[in-house]
Chain A
Amino acid sequence: MKVSLTAALRVFAVVSLATWLCAQQGPGKNSPTKKSAKEGKASASTVSQRPLVLSGSIPLDGVKGRFDHFAFGQGRLFVSALGNNTVEVISIFGGIVERTITGVPNPQGVAFSPEAHKLFVASAKGKLYIYDAESFNLIATLDFEGGADNLRYDAATKRVYVGCGDDEKTAAIAAVDAMTNQRLDEEYKIGGEPESFQLESSGPNIYVNITDLKQIAVINRKTKEITRWPLTGLRMNFPMALDEADHRLFVGIREPARLAVFDTTSGHMIVALPSAEDTDDLYYDAEHKRVYVPGGEGLIYVFQMNDPDHYRFLAKVPTALGGRTAGYFGRQGKGFHRFFLAVPASGGQSAEVRIYTIQE
């Protein structure tokens, strides 16, 4: 309804008067009192119990279905909209969808190479799509039997590692030269479909979750040897994050829902903590020494590393059903420290990327 300016003014004059009259009758709920004025004194406790605070949302109108993984580069977030067959290119500072890449059937992993200035998109339908990161024109495609899933970019060698294949014969971690778009001879057959994997930057290892084999495979890129850490009592290891400085590997387990922490020097599991259900991504925040585990059940579990051998559950942040894939890429320009979560469309509500501000 419309309220004219004069009417509005009159209204406020009256309301203000009435409020003032009420205030004369006694202290209202907002009246400052001496007792509560204590709050104004400096307080010692400044650590927030809310490690992630929802502080923004980028609507993705018309994007249907499930989301998969994220990549980041040059102020842009690349989000695989698996069910929508698109990759959404989002400016994180502008809070806007800059572009939608179409024509990728079931995109899963995405990787950005600043050196090659290219975007790599893995399709579950068995192709790697390579785009120019300015025009987003398709430059090349490469075939991967059994589907291409997770991607990792190694800046040191300018290679994109591709988790590919879906059975004993085809399952591998393959490598592509980001500069020439050529598939390299470097390939590691791992005997079971690879889920999340992580590259060491200070060492030769690649850690790979092999869900079907209930294993973590450790590939030594120098010796080409593969070591296997079996999981006992834990199944469905999907997401993974690496803390190289402390030699720790974090693995998200779905059955039962656990965050498992491994010592990468020994391969021993240090602890398995109750965690979010239905996980597909997890991240380690080296600055706060925290692990963020989003779960499709609609919660982000946050864990605090007290020291590399001790962890505590810090908080459960309510999100939305299906919010299981996310992006965390450390601190960006002007102190911008955010965690991004993909929330699929549901019940008339559009899909969105939620922005959580990381708190102390």
Chain B
Amino acid sequence: MTTRKLGAACLAVLVALIVRAGAQEQAPSNDEFAPLVLVRIIPMPDVQGRFDHMAVDNKTGRLYAANYGNDSVEVLEVQRGKRVHSIQLELSKPQMVAYIPESNRIVVSNEGDGSCKIFDADTYKLIDTVKFSEDADQLRYDPVTKRVYVGYGDGAIGMFDATTNKRIAGDFELGAHPESFQLEEKGSRIFVNLASVSQIAVIDRNTHKIEKWKLEEAGTNFPMALDEEHHRLFVAARRPARLLVLNTDSGKVIASLPGAADTDDMAYDATRRRIYVPSGEGFIFVYQQIDADRYQRIDKIPSAIGARTSAYYGQVGKHNSLYLAIPGRSNRGAELWVYETRD
């Protein structure tokens, strides 16, 4: 037993060293006991500009990253560690990508012309355009109804059918631009961050009723994640920088912790009951959900300045990966960093 343990420990150290060597100079730090370990860096040397949100096709391991500043969607093959394509046609300040597995298509939202562009995920050919009045931003795909929900303008959440690419009537008017929003899978609600008014809108898709929860302690709430099982909603506030945990039954804030500055994405890891919050200040904040009411920040992992957008899909096969977009910086091109989550 002791020998086995020792052997495993030695192997672990060796492996950690190998991984470290692979990420030499690239990774600012890679603590082998950290809850997130950097395992891969995919260079995008000639890509400039600010990255916005990303989507992954978990079957092929292809990642699609919207680059707002470059008017492009960068396509990377994560396993091969390569950038394979850059979609540039028809895009104007792209903000988010959603992947539709049934049709193997991607949807790209654009701030510039308010459109959603639909591309074939293999050939990158433009298939269709769905128009919104202005500033198409966050996207969520509901595989049950095969609908794409689109946050747009000042503001509302609209919908279109992912099969026909036709808009569906009955937009949910919100009175402010919707930032991140989350769809309930077991319920009928949509939770929406209204950052400009520091509120969370709660839409009931069945009754079309909209309730609003005002955030008092901290606001300018951009990213959001949902733990449906425990009835908890996570919001990263920017003013001031706090992680807020809300009870989705009562709308009450039940926990508030120091947060990362300049956040734009966050994720809930249901397997490890953790919350990952990357931030432009160059850290990924990691919080542990001890139980539904108690939370603790367990790590602050150095990443890179400006690395504020990420993608996370939970456990997919053997992987539980967090993808982080690193914008180009002085003397160094843009990159995608792939982290694996750890117990």
Contacts and interface: CB of A to CB of B under 8 A. Distances in A.
A43 B255 CA distance: 9
10 contacts: A11-B18, A14-B8, A15-B16, A21-B9, A32-B290, A39-B296, A40-B293, A47-B240, A48-B241, A53-B281
B172 to A, nearest CB: 20
A241 interface: no
Interface in A103-131: none
Interface string A1-21: 111010011011111111111
A31 to B, nearest CB: 8
B305 A335 contact: no
Interface stretch (B31-39, B101-109, B114-122): B31-39
B257 A56 contact: no
Contacts of B18: 1, 3, 11
Contacts of A59: 48, 328-332
A167 B228 CA distance: 72
Given A3-B22, A54-B305, A95 B329 contact: no
A225 to B, nearest CB: 44
A50 B262 CA distance: 13
B195 interface: yes
A348 to B, nearest CB: 7
B126 interface: no
A95 to B, nearest CB: 3
Contacts of A271: none
B151 interface: no
Nearest to B48: A96
Interface in A40-71: 40-43, 46-48, 50, 53-57, 59, 61
B255 A41 contact: yes
A139 interface: no
Interface in A314-360: 334-335, 348-352, 355, 357, 359-360
Nearest to B299: A30
B327 A95 contact: yes
B237 to A, nearest CB: 9
A29 B300 CA distance: 13
The CB with the most chain B CB atoms within 10 A, among A54, A56, A348, A352, is that of A56
A97 B69 CA distance: 9
The 7 A-B pairs with the shortest beta carbon distances in the complex, nearest first, are A94-B69, A55-B280, A95-B50, A18-B12, A96-B69, A55-B262, A96-B49
Nearest to A360: B240
A15 B50 contact: no
B288 A32 contact: yes
B182 interface: no
Nearest to A23: B343
Contact of B35 (A17, A30, A40): A30
Interface residues of B, number: 71
A94 B67 CA distance: 8
B147 interface: no
Given A40-B257, A57-B330, A21 B8 contact: yes
Nearest to A4: B79
A217 to B, nearest CB: 39
A349 B329 CA distance: 10
B177 interface: yes
A11 B16 CA distance: 9
Contact of B195 (A20, A29, A95, A335): A335
B309 to A, nearest CB: 12
A8 B319 CA distance: 11
Given A11-B18, A48-B241, A94-B69, A56 B296 contact: no
B318 interface: yes
Contacts of A54: 281-282, 305
B180 to A, nearest CB: 13
A28 B343 CA distance: 11
Interface in A54-96: 54-57, 59, 61, 91, 93-96
Contact of A359 (B15, B22, B241, B328): B241
Contacts of B93: 93-94
Contacts of A56: 50, 262, 280, 305-306, 327
A216 B274 CA distance: 57
B242 interface: yes
A37 interface: yes
Contacts of A19: 12, 32-33, 342-343
A348 B68 contact: no
Given A29-B33, A32-B298, A40-B294, A55 B195 contact: no
The CB with the most chain B CB atoms within 10 A, among A11, A40, A96, A357, is that of A40
